[in-house]
A and B are shown apart, each in its own frame.
Chain A
């Protein structure tokens, strides 16, 4: 049966939130950091392994 996809946040207590906020944003930093590293690695790969060997153009 369908449920509206928003949940009410009255059930979250301030103390729950405080506990959780001690950890946040470590996970987000880790995830975003890994994504950024992968992006950079990919970019440098394309740049130095594919692009530069194909010759100079100007």
Chain B
């Protein structure tokens, strides 16, 4: 009886978060060929990083390889919906962004996609959190969350970290 009640409570909280707050695990099941990633329209090198698309959506595209992210630093606006899209040409990787709920595996053969809203500004750490080989420990990127006024896309809609 009591156990049933406890179980029901937890279900309800998870359902609430899923349906009302739109908190779901990343599950879009979209395939892509890892062997030709660099030749794809979307994940070719010049298309990586943050771009404001025609409809106004902010999309950040990242490629995870052994043993670096491309780009190593990306800029995103705060308090606006951002979509992250990741792919890998080689082995399993994964990411989290410190202080946020952004967390996903990156599986070769699939595109990982997360919709989120960053609320705190600053430089966040985005390490590769899944074992991907001997260079795994040194694999991380920076996510720079900037306030609206500082988020200035260029003519192509792209924003990159300033070289310092």
Interface residues of A (CB under 8 A from B): 33, 36, 40, 43-44, 47, 51-52, 54-58
Contacts and interface: CB of A to CB of B under 8 A. Distances in A.
B118 A55 contact: yes
A57 B101 CA distance: 7
Interface of B: 2-3, 6, 9-10, 13, 17, 21-24, 26, 99-103, 114-119
B13 A57 contact: no
What 7 A-B pairs are tightest by C-beta distance, nearest first? A57-B101, A58-B24, A54-B101, A58-B22, A57-B116, A58-B115, A56-B22
Nearest to A29: B2
A58 B114 contact: yes
Given A51-B101, A52-B17, A58 B23 contact: yes
A25 to B, nearest CB: 13
Nearest to B81: A56
A9 B118 CA distance: 64
B115 A55 contact: no
Nearest to A53: B119
Contacts of B17: 47, 52
12 contacts: A33-B2, A36-B3, A40-B6, A44-B13, A47-B17, A55-B100, A55-B117, A56-B22, A56-B101, A57-B114, A58-B22, A58-B116
B122 to A, nearest CB: 14
Given A54-B101, A58-B114, 16 more contacts: A40-B6, A43-B10, A54-B99, A55-B101, A55-B116, A56-B115, A57-B24, A57-B100, A57-B101, A57-B103, A57-B115, A58-B22, A58-B23, A58-B24, A58-B26, A58-B115
A47 B13 contact: yes
Given A44-B13, A52-B17, A52-B21, A57 B102 contact: yes
B2 A40 contact: no
Contacts of B10: 40, 43
A57 B118 CA distance: 10
A40 B9 contact: yes
